[in-house]
Structure 1
Amino acid sequence: MTIKEIQNEIVEEFSMFDDWDERFQYVIDLGKSLPLIDEKYKTEENLIRGCQSKVWLHAEKKDDKILFTADSDGYISKGVISILIRVFSNQSTVDILEGNTDFINEIQLQQFLSPNRANGLSMMVKQIKLYALALQAKN
């Protein structure tokens, strides 16, 4: 699936909920289903700076795609990173770098987050893009 197709799926899923309590619970549930990062990648180097909770993000290139794994010590942060990984993992570096995050506004995720968590969301997106740029440069 393309990044846009995945984003459209997420927008459709969030549109099923009538209020933010339901959306909030859905974000937490998404985080619970996140495949965990290997413990050896829970290092300072893989910590995303600027997040309220600790969020670890690891990227590796397989064939022409980047695979992301992550974990967090906070339920909300874990749910947010799981959404981003769903969108950007298993995509090419070019697609990741060109991909937008307009869907975040469509599902009103930033409105739901505290300013610190919204900053963390921005830092997560930035780190995903930086990994893609770094892995692209290695080729």
Structure 2
Amino acid sequence: MSLPSKAQDALDAFTAAGGWEQRARLLMQWGERLEALDDAERSEANRVHGCESQVWLLGTRQGEHWHFRAASDARLIRGLLAVLLARVNGLNGEELAGIDLADWFNQLGLGRQLSPSRSNGLNAVLKKMREMAGD
């Protein structure tokens, strides 16, 4: 299965990064590109539980495909969310169900940097996406 173009961009950028410091900087830059959520969108109803940091997630369906927006109060998490959104935006519910989170972050060279709590949090985000997509 081919990657969405933004996911390919992420893969190219992170693969080209020389080491963890460069990847961490890149992650922060990606996090700054997240579409902003307004105060009303940062509601309890949109909060993802299972994350140590506060994370909010919104999803809209465009035909068969999903577009997600997310925010977090933690810089590193915003970066991780940004590369997760790059991977999942534009997918349909069936494709979302097939996403292997650990594999994606390993491809980006970020797998070792995911602590168990961050990994659990991102899995909670992905689970909520799948629930929204109704699989």
Closer/same/farther in 2, CA of residues 3 and 94 from structure 1, 3 Å limit? farther
Tell me the residue number matched to 2:51.
Answer: 51
Cα RMSD of the aligned pairs, angstroms, is 2.2
Amino acid at match of 2:77: S
Q: Distance in 2 between matches of 1:37 and 1:85?
A: 14
Q: 1 or 2, which has the higher helix percentage?
A: 1
Tell me the residue number matched to 2:69.
Answer: 69
Q: How does 1:1-139 map to 2 (within 5 A)?
A: 3=3, 6-101=6-101, 102-133=103-134
Q: Provide structure 2 residue ranges, at least 5 long, that are not aligned to the other structure.
A: none
Q: Distance in 1 between matches of 2:130 and 2:78?
A: 18
Contact 2:43 2:56 in 1 (8 A): yes
| TM-score, normalised via structure 1 length | 0.83
| TM-score, normalised via structure 2 length | 0.85
**CA displacement, residues 65-89 of structure 1 (integer Å, 9 cap, x when unaligned):** 2111111111011111111111111
Q: Distance in 2 between matches of 1:17 and 1:37?
A: 29
1:97, distance to aligned residue in structure 2 (A)? 1.9
Q: Provide structure 1 residue ranges, at least 5 long, that are not aligned to the other structure.
A: 135-139
Identity %: 24
